[in-house]
A = this chain, B = another copy of it.
Amino acid sequence: MSENESNQSRMVGKQSILFKNPPYIISGASIAGKKESEGPLGALFDVIQEDPLVGKDSWEEAESEFMRQAAGKALQKAGLKSKDIRYLVGGDLLGQLIATSFGIAELDIPMIGIYGACSTMGEAMSIGAILVDGGFADKVLAITSSHFAGAEKQFRFPLDYGNQRPYSASWTVTGSGAVIIADQSNKKEASSPDIVIKGVTIGKIVDYGIKDSMNMGAAMAPAAFETIKQNFEDLGVEPSYYDRIITGDLGYVGKNILIELLKEKNYDIGSLYMDCGIEIFDKENQDTHAGGSGCGCSAITFTSYILNQLKEGKWKRILFIPTGALLSQVSFNEGNTVPGIAHAVIVERKE
């Protein structure tokens, strides 16, 4: 028994997992809002929704609709129906995950609801790959969303209030991204080159005492630092093991902090480093200040630009680290800090 068990161990180092049968990403879909479509990645999204309400009565229902469409598009691109999906793993930024609950109910897929703030796409892909690699599921849909207007209402002030945004503030991305993760028997021959999830590093909550909900990059950078450093240590690799190291939404403020923190540990990631929050908007022309953020930011950047680069062979292996700021309106108003968390996913192109 113990031999059997050690044979099956996927544990690597302190926090990482390497999969025995790396699960395949057989489909990815991105639904983006108007502002996102006007940014540098605009041409790569599957669907653009010009109307931020998508014809609905509230921001929350609109976000649910983004999610519904992302799930539908990912299924369509894989030639699957929702009944083909064993489990859905997903979440959003709103209290009690209402964008998700109302967005995916009609898909009728058994649901694992998760919350990791803007790190949720990393958490969803990690759990999805765990379910598939362990033989607990053959096909899993991992999905997240965010909505600028819904997030401002939830965390800061309703848009009608006309609050001014400091330069350290990021702009919550309106969009939803979904991937379908499947075992080898369910990969599509036509979808090659194969993209697989090789492993993950589950992050800890890291709290450096930041108290400013308008400066989430600074709150999240230490969490990204801890997770990335642990990934290098657990796997015994240098930054150059990856063609790109891509955080979720640290933005311009968090980026510099992360690079400096890693430099202190003698890891130079400068030339390999990217951040979805920086890529998604044009800093000069889109007035988004520190960059994009939100569960949707890393999700739609991954399912458009990052997957494309891997498929085209421009990158062979990347470390994708969605980053989350663990605050709520209540904890913020009570004067609490904003702890961060980040989960890393190793994605590679299989030759």
Contacts and interface: CB of A to CB of B under 8 A. Distances in A.
A336 interface: yes
A11 to B, nearest CB: 7
Interface stretch (A2-10, A269-277, A286-294): A2-10
B137 A105 contact: no
Contact of A115 (B58, B113, B130, B137): B113
A309 interface: no
Q: Taking the full assembly, how many copies of this chain does it contain?
A: 2
A173 to B, nearest CB: 18
A183 interface: yes
A136 B10 CA distance: 5
A115 to B, nearest CB: 5
Interface of A: 1-2, 4-5, 8-11, 15, 17, 21, 57-58, 60-61, 86-87, 91, 93-98, 101-102, 104-105, 108-117, 123, 126-127, 130-131, 133-138, 154, 183-185, 202-205, 207, 326-331, 334, 336, 339, 341
Contact of A127 (B98, B116, B127): B127
Q: Top 4 A-B pairs ranked by shortest CB distance?
A: A134-B134, A95-B95, A96-B328, A8-B135
A329 B328 CA distance: 14
Contacts of A184: 1-2, 5
